[in-house]
Structure formats: structure tokens, C-alpha cells
Amino acid sequence: MDLKPDHNPMTDEEIAGRVQQGDTELFGILVERYGDKLSRYARKFLSRREDIEDLVQEVFIKAYTNIQSFTVTRKFSPWLYRIAHNEFINAIKKKRWEPLPFFDPDTLFPHPLSQENADRGVLDHEMKEMLERHLRKLDPKYREPLVLYYLEELEYAEISEVLQLPLSTVGIRLKRGKEMMRKFLLNHE
């Protein structure tokens, strides 16, 4: 069986179910599917590459160890992001003296540009710079839902699960975060 995520038609939930039933080598597919995403998410919390790599590995170890607690009728990604969120927050608590970094735009927007999309590339670059400048100004309680929604492309319900907040709170924080971003942009112009 090919373990590359692009070649495996099984959903994350199906793979997790098979891992729960003892087909443990399939967990590697989940690692391949989520490794880069979790590394990108970790950069929101930590700046040192070694710390990020170690924490992402720890997330996968915890997910594998606790795979039996995953309910296969639910979505896998919020469950995994919740484990990651807890690991990253714990790492911050342990390293209070280390300043929180901001996002590496090349990591957040890893879109290769083709020649015919040069104009789009300029706009994307400007958008990256704007996001980097202005997201940094947001309180983390507004920044994190925006990152999960726009950059990690999670739905409101999934964000609610990851952050362990009521759905209505997620909606409010997203709305307020967007309003704050709008104000930053208007003041910038």
C-alpha cells in the first residue's frame, strides 16, 4: 500500500479507525498529511526550528498514544489540532522568557507563482506583508481564531473544538478580529 497522502483515497477518519483496529502503519499517512500543517501552526507559538520539530513530533506521539480516544464519526483534524494547541501552549508556559514570534509569511502562504500570475503574485506578497504587520497587533484570543479560519481553513465548529470555546464565542472573536484588522488597514491607508 502506498503511504503517500496524495495517493491514498482514505479519509483521515477512516485511517484513524483502521489504526484503532491495529493497522498501525497507516498512522504514517496522517503524519505526512499533517506534518507541515502542524509545523506552520507551531510557528505561531515558537520561533526555534528545533523546538517546533520536537513539539510536532510530540503531538504525533500523543495522537498515536491516544488514538483510541478519537471518535471516528467526528472529524480528525480538530482532534489533532486540539492536541497540538495544548502542546504549544504548554511549551509557551515552560518558556515564558522567550518572546513569541510572529508568522513566517512564506510558511503561511506557500504558493508557487507561475509567470502568467505575476500580478497575482504582487498582490499576494502585499497581502502577506499586511497580514504580518497587522495580525501581530491583535490580542492572541482574536489572532488565533483568524489564523485557524483563514490560514488553516478550519470551520467554525472545528475552531470551537480546537480552542474549546462555544461556537458563538468563536464567531464573536472572528468578527471582532476582522473588525480590528479592518481598522488597522484603514489607519494604515
pLDDT digits (tens, 9 = 90+) for 154-184: 899 999 999 999 999 999 999 998 888 888 7
Q: Three-state DSSP class for 8?
A: coil
Those residues with Cβ within 8 angstroms of residue 113's Cβ, 6 or more apart along the chain or in another chain: 120, 121, 124
- Same domain for 96 and 119, yes or no, is no
Q: List the one residue out of 30, 162, 168 whose CA is nearest residue 89.
A: 162
- Same domain for 63 and 16, yes or no, is yes
Residue bearing cell 503574485? 121
Residues 141, 180: Cα–Cα separation, whole Å: 12
Express each pLDDT in 75-128 by its tens digit.
Answer: 999 999 999 988 888 887 776 534 444 444 444 344 444 444 455 555 556 665
Query: Range of 112's domain?
Result: 103-189
pLDDT confidence of residue 103: 43
The count of structural domains within the chain is: 2
Residues 60, 15: Cα–Cα separation, whole Å: 14
**What is this structure's pTM?**
0.65
